[in-house]
Amino acid sequence: MSPSRVSRTFLGSPASITEARRFITVFLRNWPCVDDAELIVSELATNAVRHSDSGRFGGRFTVSIEADRSRMWLSVLDEGGPLSPRVLPPLASGENGRGLVLVNELAAAWGITGDDRGRIVWAVLEALPEAATRR
Ligand SMILES: Nc1ncnc2c1ncn2[C@@H]1O[C@H](COP(=O)(O)OP(=O)(O)OP(=O)(O)O)[C@@H](O)[C@H]1O
Ligand SMILES: [Mg+2]
């Protein structure tokens, strides 16, 4: 797969989480890390809809993928709001708080930028596309 970059914007509704997953599986179908990428984007899109202003009426979020031969950069841009993404401590989180813990486990690196007007949560996966690993 040649270096590539693609973004798509979705309505900030729960139904869009399925669409965002599909966007990842279609665009990254030849990449061995497609399952990890799908999980990460699913968690980040869910968070955008549930915790940011993207989930308000008319809100949107944008998923971006940037890939080169060995690395993939995934991100979800939301519409901000009063809450900030943060890894919840296990005791405080109970049933919740697994999303960013999972992202932290799967990604080689991840982070948060932005402010209450819009935030990006990004994650990097290191993986060679199948075509490159066969060589
Ligand atoms: N995009 C976001 N905008 C604002 N706050 C966020 C965002 N993503 C996460 N958060 C905050 O960070 C916390 C931790 O997120 P995380 O995904 O780990 O857990 P959760 O969404 O609460 O539960 P789970 O993902 O297990 O269903 C959230 O409870 C929320 O307060
Ligand atoms: Mg979550």
Would you kindly state where each structural domain of the chain is located, as residue ranges? 4-134
- Atom 20 of ligand 1, nearest CA residue: 97
For domain 4-134, say whether CATH 3.30.565.10 is its number: yes
Across residues 54-76, what is the average pLDDT? 95
User: Phi and psi (nearest 5°) for 45?
Assistant: -70, -40
Q: What pLDDT, on a 0 to 100 scale, did the predictor assign at position 129? A: 56
Of the candidates 70, 57, 73, 58, the one whose C-alpha atom is nearest the C-alpha of residue 5 is 73
Percent of the chain with pLDDT over 90: 78
What pLDDT does residue 97 have? 85
Ligand 1 atom nearest residue 95's Cα = 26
pLDDT in tens, 88-117: 987 766 678 899 999 999 999 999 999 999
Which pLDDT score, from 0 to 100, does residue 135 have?
43
